[in-house]
A and B are shown apart, each in its own frame.
Chain A
Amino acid sequence: MDGAKVTLGRMAGLYAGAAVLRLAVFTLIPGLPDLLTGRVEISTPVTSFKRLQEGLFLYNHNVSPYDGGVYHQAPLFLPLFSLLPSFASLPIFTYLLYIAVDLVSARALWRIADSGEAVSSALFTSPRREKRWSGLVIAAVFLFNPFTIATCIGRSTSVFTTCAILHAIAKAVSGAPLGAMVALSFASYLSMYPLFLLPPLVLLCYDRQRPERATNSPLKFAAVCASAVAGVVAVLFQLSYLVTGSWEFLPSTYGVQLTLSDLTPNVGLWWYFFIEMFDSFRSFFLAVFWLHLSSYVGGLTVRIRRQPLVVLTLLLGIFAIFKPYPSISDMSLFLAVVPLYRHVFPLMRYTFVSAAVVLYASCLGPAFYYLWIYAGSGNANFFYAITLVWGLGLSLLVCDLMFAVLRDEWEVERPEMAGKEIRQI
């Protein structure tokens, strides 16, 4: 009882602290939000707040928001933001909305952490499970991560996707498959790529079913889940159609992601490649890039069947590298779930290297972008080189986490090898 009170107090303190910090940054440094909104590292064509405002303006003037080819985000954002008081006169409501979304995401993360799914899933219990962080620490790491704060201040709409994904996982681990599927549908509706998370999420739901309502047929379960997602997405599409009055939003939102028609630079690896590409090879390489992105889903789901949450985590990391329009918000989502694996951190080998690489990249990225765009003394290769380094740092982290998790699993099978050096032959 008392413990619950303490937790509640801490939770309130953490949320209040995070909210006050964000609000202070919003109000005390008035130039910062717009500066961050303009940064390519934070705002991609499919998440930019500036573009959202453009779409909103068109929408409020009864013009199709997709006219002009600037707005590439989901149509349902428009009524949501129209309900808020105008951003130009009363920005505080927008700020509060973004802060609330971050806090809600942190709450979901807290639930995931408290469930202990990361250390002990239905089919696997880590021998190191004693060593883990509480939900408080993990939520704090997420809320005070500079990448999360920057995303929130930059008002990128990817925070909504982050929130939906975290809620999907939280629902899944608490044994509410339907809720998980609805949340995932929302995430997929907003950003499309979360659809790739469906297979591991279905497995996670299946593993964490409540005993009283459990089904024993995985196929049936998966079919029900998939149809739930399809149903919810269909409803959302129908709503979008009602809101915008045409199906134009499909090519303008998902089409842009699929065909990468907006080549604004970002931290990902696609834009430069497709700038350089001859048009005749474009469709082939689009297929290759998408195939590459999707190929991880099946492999990881099968290989790490016993820990579906690990698959979700790794996929989030992989998406942060290989998505068509990644931003640091994807990094912040990945870094939010990584601390769940505190117990395998001792097995990771390159944490320092990958952390240093990511830090270097996040320092040099803006500098090189400045040299390219403003000073005119650099060129696009500078920035692209840094995005490569960024991708390298992230992929080191993903690989290292994967290694650590697999090693943890392996040591259960081979207890005599615990702590010994191994080498793949």
Chain B
Amino acid sequence: MLKLSLTRAVAYIDRLPLFTRLAIVLAVGAEVLGVLPWWDVRAWGRLEPDEIGLATMYRTNTFPLIHTDVLHLIVNLLAVTPMLERFEAEHGTLTSVALFMGPLSTIPALIYVGIERFLLRANTAIMGASIWGFLLLGVEAIRHSRSTPYLVINGQQTIPTWAVPIALLLVVAVLMPGSSALGHLCGLGVGYAFGLGYIKFLAPPERVLRWIEGKLKLRTWLPYYVSVDQKVYGRPIMMPIIIHGAVASVLQLRRDPRMLKVPPYLSLLCILVGVAWLFLLPLDQYSRRTYISENALLPGQVHTYFGGSDQNVFRAYKHEVDELAGKSNTEVNDKLEPIIKGLGLKTARQNFTYHAAGHTYAGENLYAILQAPRGDATEAIVLVAAWENVKHEINRNGIPLALTLLRYFKRWSLWSKDIILLVTPDSIAGPQAWVDAYHDAHDPARVSSLPLKSGLLQGAIAIDYAQEGRFDSLHIVYDGVNGQLPNLDLINSIVNIAQGQMGIGVALQEMWHHDNGYPDRLRTMLRGMLKQGLGLASGPHSSFIPYHVDAVTLRPFGEGWQDEMAMGRVIEGSFRSLNNLLEHLHQSFFFYLLMQRERFVSIGTYLPSAMLVAANFTIMAIALWVKSGQPREAATPKSKTDTPAAPATAERDLFLPLGVVALIQSLSIIPLYLFNHAPESALTPLFALFTLLSTLLPITLSHLLPPTPSPQQQYHLIQSFSLLLLGMFLSTLATLNFSLAMITGLFAVPLSFLRPVASPAGKIVVGGVLLNLISPSAVLLAAAGYWGLDVTSVLREAAVGWQVCGTYSPVVVWCVWWPAWVAAGVVVLGERKGGKEKEA
């Protein structure tokens, strides 16, 4: 009978009777021998009509066991084995041997040879077990037609049952190239004859068989031997039973304890594939060349006129700005405001005060609006020049350049969008306050509202030009807060203008030299991922991106021959492109990883890797849930019974595990609050204290857990719930901030493989050492050490990001990763009571 599932298939093969096995072995053996160079088995054994003589009669018996190639062999074996097995079960091994090694091969062979030689006068050699197949089909069809003489299709058309093999023969003849319809027909004919009983006499009489069997004691020493007396009559094939069996075996498989061994490997595979995937991305086959999607941008298509006498204006402004170095924010604005007003623009100022990590970040933004001669003030582009860049260097060339550009832009009548110049005292808080207030999303207590506004912001470009003298290339900084990115079209346009039009090189992610090889691409991508994962603001542009305003910071670097005017022309070109926009940038990608200025991968290509890592947690959660439901005595092997096992699912007690996970999850608010609100001086002691307490927490919790009848189940459930939450949060996060999800997921990977440790020594090693090595605190320390930072500055940056920009990376660390780690700690350390119970 056909069986469709693996376990059943194995069991089925296990039950095959002797002759069937022998036939399979011989056929496979012949196939193997076929590779021998000095003996052509096929030429030796096939049925070649012209070769048949008295000495070569052996061919009439050997040809069914020889096949043209492996595929032929497999197809034939699949077709013949079930029928042969049934034949043997019905007639006994001895009869089968006698028939198939004798008349049932020879007779069709001789008929075939006769027809070939004398009727057709041809010489087509045949081989293969399919002749047995058709013979057996014939036998089967005749028997079936006794019980059901007609097959009814559609309730009206009837087909005689005996004719079914003929239809099959025709199908095979049409579909299988090189099959011999005549050979099959001969087999089928003999099969019909045998089925109708005309050649039953060929079978050796039962008396003789029984005698042989008795004499040789075949039943005792031959395995899988089907005795004459064991014969089974009529086991017809029935499709419903097969399907039924398949369903049942799938259900059985679900209960198979071996199934529970699979998930850890599966989730390991997920992780490995996920990581390997990431490393494939820089290859040419997986990354793509960048291209401009938005046709309206037309980057580099206009002639830029900035230069000439603007050089002198620039020098004058630079002189003014140099005077201001070291002055206070208000003094600077007091000086700059009249200059801008002198250009004929409206200006306004805005105060802001942020408190983070015990510091106060206060200042005053100055901004001016150049009203578009051809626009209706519904759209605007922003030019940002922060007084200080992120490294606290004064923007000595950037501010004068911005002023010069504004003066220059004022002369043109082609602007269809307002141009806003924003001068902020710093690169993080100032722009954030301004953008928040521009969109009325600010807290009026800390940030004052804007007295002057324009239309919808369409894009922003920040100049960070602190370097003195000429430069070589342009560094584009594009990471936004929380890993959000500007539309790829903006970056592409600037690359196009700088590189294509001006001949200025472009670098990304502080890769000052990039040879476009695999290592450099990978490094660029990983740096980008790290920045994205940290989610901190990387320049004045970062605050714009969460408001769906595409923004980048341009920073010249290196020693070269490009001067300030070249930089100005790049910005002019970019502004002209943005000015062309008919609608907000939307065509190109918002989720991408850049690995070189002209190569990127889009979300569809890279997302699976983070999702696979997140999926590993979910797989383990499901596996642990199933495991927790298995009764404890399931470990002892049960006697095999044919009746279906009862759905033995142990009752799960959910309250305690749910409570533990909920408790840990709610405790996570404490570090989140503390680290984001403590003053800077307290951060390091607080961190030390927290690390100590969080090391002790799993130990304490595992001691405090009330004893339950089955601690094993409780721990499985705790881990299951905690991993489920982890997987869920990470897969959600992967859609928002891929890199953060990927990084957190990789750090949390060991958590899905931690298991309760029974021995005290193992507990100390795993629970005491290994567990603490993968704790968020330890990873934070290690990372800070690797980049040569101290913990305080890391925590301060995180607090500033949280308080000012709304970076949510701390939430992910403290409220997603840390609880999962604590739960894993409880599971590792908590086997104590279970162990005792086992001893008792």
Contacts and interface: CB of A to CB of B under 8 A. Distances in A.
Interface of A: 346, 352, 356, 359-360, 363-364, 367-368, 370-371, 374-377, 419-421, 423
Given A359-B724, A368-B735, A377-B590, A419 B729 contact: no
B443 to A, nearest CB: 10
B330 interface: no
Question: 5 closest Cβ contacts across the A-B interface?
Answer: A377-B590, A363-B732, A419-B646, A352-B625, A367-B732
B259 to A, nearest CB: 16
B651 interface: yes
A141 to B, nearest CB: 11
Contacts of B736: 367, 370-371
Nearest to A371: B735
B728 A377 contact: no
Contacts of A364: 731-732, 735
B296 interface: no
B260 interface: no
Interface in B537-595: 548, 584, 586, 590-591
A360 B484 CA distance: 23
A204 B246 CA distance: 43
B783 interface: no
Contacts of A346: 649, 651
Given A359-B724, A368-B735, A421 B618 contact: no
A363 B729 contact: yes
B645 interface: yes
B587 to A, nearest CB: 12
A364 B618 CA distance: 15
B590 A375 contact: yes
B218 interface: no
Nearest to B547: A374
26 contacts: A346-B649, A346-B651, A356-B621, A356-B622, A356-B724, A359-B724, A359-B725, A359-B728, A360-B728, A363-B729, A364-B731, A364-B732, A364-B735, A367-B732, A367-B735, A374-B548, A375-B484, A375-B548, A375-B590, A377-B590, A420-B644, A420-B647, A421-B251, A421-B644, A421-B646, A421-B647
B232 interface: no
Contacts of B591: 377
A230 B724 CA distance: 48
Interface in B624-650: 625, 644-647, 649
A421 to B, nearest CB: 5
A360 B731 CA distance: 9
Contacts of B247: 423
B719 to A, nearest CB: 14
Given A359-B728, A375-B548, A423-B247, 18 more contacts: A346-B649, A352-B622, A356-B621, A359-B724, A360-B731, A364-B732, A367-B732, A368-B735, A370-B736, A374-B548, A375-B590, A376-B584, A419-B647, A420-B644, A421-B645, A421-B647, A423-B248, A423-B251
Given A364-B731, A423-B247, A376 B586 contact: yes
Interface string B719-743: 0000011001101100110000000
Contacts of B731: 360, 364
Nearest to A363: B732
A419 B645 CA distance: 9
Nearest to A355: B724
Interface residues of B, number: 27
A376 B584 CA distance: 10
B607 to A, nearest CB: 12
Contacts of B586: 376
Nearest to A362: B728
B673 to A, nearest CB: 13
What secondary structure prevails in chain B residues at the interface with A? helix
B618 A356 contact: yes
A351 to B, nearest CB: 9
A410 to B, nearest CB: 14
Interface of B: 247-248, 251, 484, 548, 584, 586, 590-591, 618, 621-622, 625, 644-647, 649, 651, 724-725, 728-729, 731-732, 735-736
Nearest to A425: B244
A352 B646 CA distance: 20
Nearest to B648: A419
A352 B735 CA distance: 24
A359 B724 CA distance: 9
A367 B591 CA distance: 15
Contacts of A352: 622, 625
A359 B649 CA distance: 23
A419 to B, nearest CB: 5
Contact of B590 (A374, A376, A419, A420): A376
Contact of A363 (B548, B584, B647, B728): B728
Contacts of A376: 548, 584, 586, 590
Q: Which of A346, A360, A421 has the largest number of chain B CB atoms within 10 A?
A: A421
Contacts of A360: 728, 731
Nearest to A352: B625
Contacts of A420: 644, 646-647
A376 B586 CA distance: 8
Contacts of A421: 251, 644-647
B355 to A, nearest CB: 18
A10 to B, nearest CB: 16
B9 to A, nearest CB: 21
A39 to B, nearest CB: 16
B697 to A, nearest CB: 24
A296 B591 CA distance: 44
Contacts of A368: 735
A113 B247 CA distance: 39
Nearest to A364: B732
Contacts of A377: 590-591
Nearest to B252: A421
Contacts of A423: 247-248, 251
Nearest to B584: A376
Contacts of B732: 363-364, 367
B806 to A, nearest CB: 13
Contacts of B735: 364, 367-368, 371
A370 B484 CA distance: 13
B72 to A, nearest CB: 39
Contacts of B590: 375-377
Contacts of B647: 419-421
A317 B251 CA distance: 28
Contacts of A359: 724-725, 728
B593 to A, nearest CB: 15
Nearest to B736: A367
Nearest to B720: A352
A370 B622 CA distance: 29
Nearest to B622: A352
Nearest to A353: B622
Nearest to B548: A376
A419 B735 CA distance: 43
A131 to B, nearest CB: 9
A351 B4 CA distance: 29
A423 B245 CA distance: 12
A133 to B, nearest CB: 11
B538 to A, nearest CB: 18
A374 B591 CA distance: 15
A374 B789 CA distance: 35
A359 B721 CA distance: 11
Q: Which of A352, A360, A364, A370 has the largest number of chain B CB atoms within 10 A?
A: A352
